[in-house]
Structure 1
Amino acid sequence: MTGMFSRRRALQRACQSLAALMLVWAAPAHAQTTTSAQTGLPVAKLTAGIHVIRAEVADTESTRRTGLMFRDALPDNDGMLFVFDAPEVQCFWMRNTPLPLSIAFIADDGTIVNIDDMAPQTDDTHCSAKPVRYALEMAQGWFDMRGVQAGQRIAGLPR
């Protein structure tokens, strides 16, 4: 068990280091091109048990990169669903994002792998515990307040 824990810890550290390098590499170009909140994204209706979520879908490199940056409000059951081409360990940060958010990393079958709270305006990385194809950002505390936890499923995910 100790060996598995240290391998997982090493993988998490490697992911955090990679994310930090990506920040350094991507920040200058990104900072020059993105200065306002994106609008007009497609919307998916998702469910977490009895809870209905209206999620804007970020499924391109550009829309995923901008995410919820520069948003100053997020209605109660609204969020953003990030859709990736294939399952990979996904890492997020909160640069230019003034709202505190919670993020659920979701496997292909809709199972929530892990949930993390993210502080606004930080470059701290928040990574999935294993490869995932989806990540759902909601207002911070949304999952906790509704009893939605890792192991539960999100329905309605686009394929």
Structure 2
Amino acid sequence: MKHRKKMPFTDAVIHECQRFLDVVPLNIFHCTTAMINFRGYTIPKGTVVIPLLHSVLFDKTKWETPHSFNPGHFLDENNCFKMNPAFMPFSAGKRSCVGENLARMKLFLFFSTLLQNFTFSSTDDPANIHISPVAGSFIKLPRLYKLLVKSRA
């Protein structure tokens, strides 16, 4: 993990994968504990609220190219990693995922270890590969492709 700061592009790619794939676009259901006013609407106490993380992860006011895979969303002008406050695949605030830090560490270790030890290539023509996920009712799934994996050893 100490090398993570020296690998900003790898970190940016991992974060962009999470943002772009948007695997779980809906968050855990919440319930209002009091009547509130939100953007001109009155929401009664006890109303079930379903946060839509997709709306933030693809907000054109928060991302330069929201509908394109772009690791640059997480790099500053010096190509150093920068976090975007609109990045919230683990939710945000008091109800965010308690395992977020562990998950982020595991994702980095998992992907960097794979990339250090294997070479990945597609058996399909790159022109025929679509990286946008397949939308389901509550989740999005990556498209299925055959992958050729070769050991670097």
Indicate the structure with greater helix content: 2
Q: Which TM-score band (shorter chain)?
A: under 0.3
Indicate the structure with greater strand content: 1
- Greater RCO structure (CA 8 Å; 6+ sep): 2
TM-score by length of 2: 0.24
TM-score by length of 1: 0.23
